[in-house]
Amino acid sequence: MNELRRRDLPWRDYANCIGVDPEAFFPGSSPNLEKAAKKICSQCAVIDYCLNDAIKRGDSHGILGGLTGRERKREAKRRENQAESQARRNSYDQL
């Protein structure tokens, strides 16, 4: 399973979180631990891939892609609204 996961998501090989205790990204209600996890993410070369993957899978827990579950939900909604607006603009352009 791990090997399959690596082949499907090769960007994970470049993530800053490799070798970090996964529990570090599930800080619960500790603002200091959340900040520490976000700092690891903020310095990661593949943060965008991670965020996109987390949003695509609908992950609602932990710090993934530099955002909490609540923040990812807002980002997903923002992206959805942006895509709908673009689709409307495209349909108007075809009139």
pLDDT (tens digit per residue) in 37-51: 999 999 999 999 999
- pTM of the predicted structure, to 2 decimals: 0.81
Mean pLDDT (whole number) for 66-77: 97
pLDDT value of residue 87: 85
Rounded to whole angstroms, the Cα distance separating 73 from 66 reads 13
Q: Sign of torsion, CA 28 29 32 34?
A: positive
